[in-house]
Structures are given as structure tokens and as C-alpha cells.
Amino acid sequence: MTITSRDRVKRTILFITSALFVGGVALAFKFGLSPAAQDARHLFSILGISYFLAWGAYALLSHIPRDEIRSQFVLLTLSLGAALLLAEVPVWLNLIDYRKTFGNASFLSWERPNYLPDRELLALPRPGATVKTMFGRGNIGEGICLPVRPAEPFDVKYDKNGFRNEPDLTEAEVAVIGDSYVESPMLPGSALATTRLAELSRGAVANLGQSGYGPQQELVVLKRYALSLHPKWIVWVFYEGNDLVDAQHYEERVSFLNGTWNSMNRAWDRSFTLNSLMALARWAHGCMPNQRVAGNYGLIDGGDGREERVYFLDHSSSIAPTAQELEALQTTATALGEAYELARSQGAGFMVAFAPTKFRVYRDIVRFDGNAQGDLKWWVLNDLPERLHRLVADISPDIRYVDLTPALSAAAKTTPLVFIPDDTHWTADGHRVVAETLHHALTYTGQESLVRDESRTPVKAGGTVDLAQGAMMVRNKDGTIRYWSASANELYGWDKKNALGKVSHQLLHTIFPVSLEQIEGELLAKGFWEGRLIHERRDGTKITVFSRWELQQDAGSKDQSITIVEINKKPPV
């Protein structure tokens, strides 16, 4: 068969036209989408235009009669429509949610797979749901496109109320309220702090944590779910990384949810069309790393002489809180105050636990390399733990307060990792440390209660706070007294003038139950110490006291800048 010059021209035109068409579609597909929004409607428009362009090119360049081409177009278009219709029918019958099939997670919490919208909580996991999970990359790792780690799959199970408890609980000794640090969907149930706390306390502990919750939602959780369990203790975990942000935006999110309530969980949101387009758009863009975050890491000893990177995301932008943060802190205090009153009305104790950011824990532990530290040199630590402590004490001296920072920092020096390297959350070891710290804070050594929680009132040197139930002093690590309360004057006979500037152990001729070095080691590791001491009054008589010491500054500071609040109380007769 002889190929004529006319045929060669036609083939050349066909090749050039096809190349231009394919290249044009590829360019539109690659650069015409919004990476941030993964705009499915935009992609649908591109695919629709491409479909008609392809048929137009086919009709223009083909020798097939136009009537036959029209028949082919109608038949193929109807076939594609019928196939799409069959894929959508199960959605209309509520048999399938393609968001879950394609792994599409909305930025709106109530639109995520397995979540239900709630007018107060915004979103709650579907009761009784079981989520197959394989945690191969953390939230920071997702943002900067780190390689996915090998991971073992596990089930994340939710109880009848949508919380991580196995089995359903009708009563609990302790109810722990918080956000994703308590829920921890990236770890199996056996590793959670609440599970470990239950093992330590030998009683039921309810995990009432929920990812994305802030103070207002956590108050709702206390009202709806915690009180009905009749707990002896309610523990409220405050995470400094985003709880204030959540408090700021809660009303806005509630307003948005209520404004769109009738459109929640629409068939379109669950459809094959929308979700397949979103998945395709995500595949087209690939992972786009956040360059600003990519360099924010430090180095630690990973064992076997190798160094391991620990990435950071959350941090304070300034030492002094902004006006918005102060307002959010007051909103938090209001929620805590109402929570305390509700707990007290049922005879339950109330404790607030401060959960620090990863940077606060690792700041003095990791090594920062000049090329790798990103903007870490501008990061600072604010005084949020102390501010929250003061707010809690202002609500009531009966509220217990524990800062988890010292215990996590101490463990980070000896434990391989207490935070996931490419994530903002705790590892299984971190959960263990938190459980041990909470257990110690909830229970006293010995049979008697050492001191009431008036001892948790934070005091600045030179302050005027006085506690009727205990003798308080504020001192340096070496024992130099900087504050001496009126109750201490009454208990020991030494007035403020004679006590300030003296070393407490020498002034009171302290007899310790164990070596002072051992006590100070526990203090630095856990942030507090409790036990019996023997002191000598000014008149020479000896008394036995229950003593509690609390660190009021970071344990990584130089020794003489560490502030210790010590409260001593005579045992009950």
C-alpha cells in the first residue's frame, strides 16, 4: 500500500493536533487547580472541557461519517452517565460514604468520615465506630512531606458516646477530659495515658478526650458525659498549643455550623463524583511541603551513635500574651470555674493538668544545627503555665493543679522519645509519664492527706498570700527563703524578719526521711515532692509535718533560679 503525500500531511496534522491537545490538557490539569482547596469543581470543569475537546478533535480529524461519530458520542456519554449513576445510588441509600473510601478529610471537623455534627460540640465520632488505623506519618510529617514510616495497623474503637473507652462505662473513678492529647487516635488503646492510669489506680478511668476540642466543648463534655459517671476525680487537661485558639474561634464555628445545619452530611458531600475528583486533584498536586516548617527541627541521640531529628510545629510567638490570648484565657477560666462548681456539687475532686508543647519540653534537650533550626532562634517560651496556675487558684484553692512539663522534660533526657518525632503528640512512653504524674498528683503517699490544695496557690516572692491551713515559704533550690507566710510564723515561731534570707533546712534543723539529694531528684523529675519532715521550732521543740514542695519554674533553669513553693502542715490528731 502506497502512502501518498496527502496521507502524510493528514498524519502530521493529526500528530501535531493530538500533541497540542494532550499538552494543553496536561498544563491545565497541572497548573489550573488550587493546591490549597483541591477545587473539585474546577477539576470537573477541566475534565468536561477536555472530554468535549477530545470528541471535537476526533470528529475533525477522523474519516468516519459524522452521523456515526454522533452515535458513538451519545452512546459513550450515556454509558458513562449510567456508570456514574450506579456508583451514586448507594450514596442516596446511605449505604456508602465515598469520603472514607477515598480518604478525603474535610477541614470542617463535622464533615470528616465517621463524625456527626453537633450543635454544641461541633463534631463527635459516630458512636460505636471502629476505625482501622495505620499511623505511618505524623501531623508535622504530613505538612512537610516526610517519608511514611513502616507501621502496624490497629483499631481505634469508640464507645456508645463516641469516646475511646473499652468497654462502655457506666461508672468511673476518674474522668479525664481534653483534646487529641487525651484521645490520641494515633496510638492503640493499650498505650493511652488513661489506660495506664487505670492500671495504676486499679479503678475505671474514662477517656473523654476529643480531637479539636477547646474549653467550651470540654465543658459540654463534662456536663453531658463526665458527671453521669459519678467520678471521684475529674481531670481537665489543658493543652497550651491550641486550646486558646480553639477558645477564640468556638463561637464563630458554632455560628457557621448552625448556619449550614440543613446541608450537613448531604449526599453530594458523600458522593463518588466529588470525592473521586478530590482524590484525583490531590494526586495531581502531590505533597507540597511547607518550607517554613521544614527546617524547624532539632537533633537528639537516637542510639547506636546516630542522630535523630525531632520536628517542632507549635510554639509561642511572644513572651507577653496578645489581647486575643488574654481574652481566650479568661474564657478558659470561666469554663474551668463552672466545671469546678459542677464537680463540687457532686462531691468530685477537680484537677487541672497543664500539657506543654513539644518545644517547651525539648528546648533544653535537643541540639540545634545552624542549617537546620529554621526560625527556631526566634521562638520563645511564655509564662502560660504560671498564668493558668494563678487563674486556677483564683477560682478556688481546692482545685489541684499539675504542670506536666517537668516530668516530661526529665523523662525526655533518659527516655528515647516522649513525643513522636514528626508529630505534636506524645509517644507511648510520653503517655506512661503523664499517667504516672497524674496518678501521683491524685494520690498522696501514706494514709493521710498531706495538705489540702490551698498549697497549689502560686506565690510571687514578696507576695502577701496567706493560707490558714498550711505554713508556706517560697525559697531557692539551696533553701534560701524569699517569702515567709504568717502561718509559717505561727507554726515555727520565727517572724518574717528573722526568716527571710536564711536557709530553711538550717533554720528549722530539718530531718529528712531520705537523703536531700534523693528528694531533690524526685522534685526535678516530677515537679513536686511530698512526704514527712521533722522540724524544730524557735523554742527548740520538734514537730512532725506533712510537707509538699512544688517547682514553680522550669526544671532546666540554673539551680539558683529555680523557685520552690513549700507548704508544711501538722498532721491531724
Does 559 have pLDDT greater than 50?
A: no
pLDDT computed for residue 214 by the predictor:
94
Question: What are the DSSP E strand ranges found in 142-200?
Answer: 154-157, 174-178
Would you list the DSSP string of 487-554? HHHHHHS--HHHHTTSBHHHHTT-B-SS-HHHHHHHHHHHSEEEEEEEEE-TTS-EEEEEEEEEE-S-
Neighbours of 572 (CB within 10 A): 7
More confident residue, 558 or 116: 116
More confident residue, 362 or 454: 362
pLDDT computed for residue 553 by the predictor:
56
The two most distant CA atoms of the chain are separated, in Å, by 125
How do 233-239 and 349-355 pair as beta strands? parallel
Neighbours of 465 (CB within 10 A): 16
Does 542 have pLDDT greater than 60?
A: yes
For residue range 468-495, list pLDDT tens digits in order: 357 888 888 888 888 888 888 989 999 9
The third-level CATH classification (topology) of the domain covering 453-569 is Beta-Lactamase (3.30.450)
CA–CA separation, 60 vs 229, rounded Å? 74
pLDDT computed for residue 90 by the predictor:
87
Confidence of residue 264 (pLDDT cuts 50, 70, 90): very low
The dihedrals phi and psi of 56, each to the nearest 5 degrees, come to -65, -45
pLDDT computed for residue 239 by the predictor:
96
Q: Which residues pair with 473 in a beta bridge?
A: 484, 566
Alpha-helix residue ranges (DSSP H) falling in 346-466: 358-362, 384-395, 405-414, 428-442
Q: Whose CA is closest to 428, among 452, 411, 441, 451?
A: 411
DSSP state of 222: I
Does 183 have pLDDT greater than 90?
A: yes
Does 532 have pLDDT greater than 80?
A: yes
pLDDT computed for residue 223 by the predictor:
96
- Residues 6 or more apart from 539 whose CB is under 8 A from it? 493
Count how many residues are written for the chain: 573
Rounded to an integer, what is the distance from CA 13 to the centroid of its chain?
Answer: 60
Secondary structure of residue 485 in the 3-state scheme? coil
pLDDT computed for residue 467 by the predictor:
34
Rounded to an integer, what is the distance from CA 495 to the centroid of its chain?
Answer: 46
Q: Share the mean pLDDT of the chain.
A: 80
Contact 496, 484 (CB under 8 A): yes
CA–CA separation, 247 vs 118, rounded Å? 17
Confidence of residue 9 (pLDDT cuts 50, 70, 90): low
| Omega prior to 167 cis, within 30 of 0 | yes
Does 464 have pLDDT greater than 90?
A: no
CA–CA separation, 284 vs 145, rounded Å? 15
Contact 381, 363 (CB under 8 A): yes
Contact 181, 207 (CB under 8 A): no
Would you list the DSSP string of 117-142? EETTTEEEEPTT-EEEE---S-HHHH
Least confident residue range of 215-219, 244-248, 313-317, 462-466:
462-466
Does 452 have pLDDT greater than 50?
A: no
For residue range 371-380, list pLDDT tens digits in order: 555 566 667 7
Q: Which residues pair with 117 in a beta bridge?
A: 123
Give, in order, the Cα–Cα distances in Å from 431 to each of 114, 194, 420, 427, 428.
25, 8, 11, 6, 5
Written out in words, the top-level CATH class of the domain with range 109-270+291-442 is: alpha beta
pLDDT computed for residue 3 by the predictor:
56
CA–CA separation, 120 vs 224, rounded Å? 11
Q: Residue 239 corresponds to which cell in the numbers above?
A: 493543652
pLDDT computed for residue 314 by the predictor:
65
